[in-house]
Amino acid sequence: MGNVFTSISEILGGKKTGEVAIRGWVYRKRSSGGMHFVVVRDSTGVIQCAVKKDVVDAKSFENAEKVFIESSVIVNGEVKEDNRAPGGYEIQAKQFELVHLGEAFPIAKDQSVEFLLDTRHLWLRSQKLTNIMKARDYIVRYLREFFYNKGFRELSPPIITRAGCEGGSTLFKLDYFGKEAYLTQSGQLYNEAFITAFEKVFILAPSFRAEQSRTVRHLCEYWHLEPEMAWYSQEDNMKLQEEMVEEVCQRMASEHADLLKELGLEPDRLKKVKAPFPRIDYEELIPKMHELGFKKFKWGDDLGSDEEAALTKELEKPIFIHNFPKGMKAFYMREDPEKPGTVLASDLQAPGGHGELIGGSERIWEMDELLARMREEKLRIEDYQWYVDLRRYGSVPHSGFGLGIERLVKWMLNLDHIRDAIPFPRVINRVYP
Ligand code: NSS
């Protein structure tokens, strides 16, 4: 049945002339005299269908008369080139069939943000969200391809775990048959088991953070891309991140300039994203923050969103911050032997105040060093026995990182809010729809 229908993009691309049948949803409608102009959309584009009273049968005309925005329809007719029609082509209908009339669509212009979030299941059909989700799909494909081309394998971690990875305050607790367990914050610890078999692996899976505050860059459920590499130093790790971000931006700018333009973006903005990216040592960051007006910024302080915005506002490329004080960061990060008291870790900050895209580090690979750090952080070692075990049998130096897909999409598409980078956002006050 599928192949008797033509997709709208084929018509707009000039590939299909003469008689066609299309199917889709009513995007817009206007009527004048004995004519209805019904703009129909499918997943590939929109096209105007002219339904004339003296050309179609009475039922078809009545159908076109009563359709709502978003009614589903099948249109048979003739393709005509027409400069006045949006897209340059129009269909002169011979038959206009209703698949489902439905009810009046509840979403019109100028609706509140809350209303649009409540009707997200319907709002997803909008041009804006459709274009964002198309771009997201390309971005995710490019990321996967980047890693496949470098010989990485994709593996699947458990989502329910007893091992917190990024601190207790954002753990989602659940009752696992009477035992406490958590929704995963990161697949990293499991990745460290995978690399002893596969060397270079990545995970693309949801991570969960019980974020207590509402910000434009935090979700409670987000998609986390986590590569982990045996034998990689932190330097190798940073180079890989640069290469990955550069490739995704370059491919998006060159292969989907039209989509970016539809989203109101200048493809050149992404073309400028070329490796290497600037780097700043946390130690140099302190005087820099003073210069930028944050006089109280001191050793051990984290960047808040104002500080991040000030640091990255004028940049065209992301910037690495590296060598953080040990106490600020997670237990698994290796201390820098050349700079004791700091860890071999980096955050990659997006330009324009979009915030942190990536957190990465070299991991502690010696057992005694790991156990000492875990005791310092007061972790329940029995929950991590397996993780410690990885340092007991053929441990190797290794590094990895975590990239928030929605953070990347937010920055690349210059979105105001992270919730628009994911179809059904989960934030502190929303788990519906
Ligand atoms: O906490 S991270 O900085 N690091 C980790 O989870 C490591 N265990 C990853 C690894 O090395 N395999 O989070 C990594 C990234 C961070 O830079 C953001 O881009 C994203 O995950 N992230 C989030 N995105 C959206 N919403 C929230 N709440 C969020 N938290 C982190």
Q: Which two tokens stand for residue 78?
A: 């003739």
| Run of H or E including 222 | strand 221-230
Nearest atom in ligand 1 to 407's CA: 19
Q: Is 204 close to ligand 1, i.e. is its CB under 6 Å away?
A: no
Ligand 1 pocket: which of 147, 152, 161, 207 to mutate (most atoms within 8 A of CB): 207
Closest residue by Cα to atom 24, ligand 1, is 404
Per-residue pLDDT, 86: 83
pLDDT per residue as tens, the chain (433 positions): 446 999 999 999 999 999 999 999 999 999 998 999 999 999 999 999 999 999 999 999 999 999 999 999 999 999 999 988 888 999 999 999 999 999 999 998 889 999 999 999 999 999 999 999 999 999 999 999 999 999 999 999 999 999 989 988 999 999 999 999 999 999 999 999 999 999 999 999 999 999 998 999 999 999 999 999 999 999 999 999 999 999 999 999 999 999 999 999 999 999 999 999 999 999 999 999 999 999 999 999 999 999 999 999 999 999 999 999 999 999 999 999 999 999 999 999 999 999 899 999 999 999 999 999 999 999 999 999 999 999 999 999 999 999 999 999 999 999 999 999 999 999 999 999 9
Query: What are 366-371's contacts with CB under 8 Å, separation 24+?
Result: 366/391, 366/395, 367/391, 367/392, 367/395, 369/334, 369/335, 370/331, 370/332
According to the model, what pLDDT value does residue 1 have? 47
State the distance from the centre of ligand 1 to the C-alpha of 404, rounded, in angstroms: 6
Ligand 1 in reach of 186 Cβ (< 6 A): yes
DSSP code, position 192: H
Give the Å distance between the CA of 95 and the centre of ligand 1.
53
Closest-lying ligand 1 atom to the alpha carbon of residue 226: 12
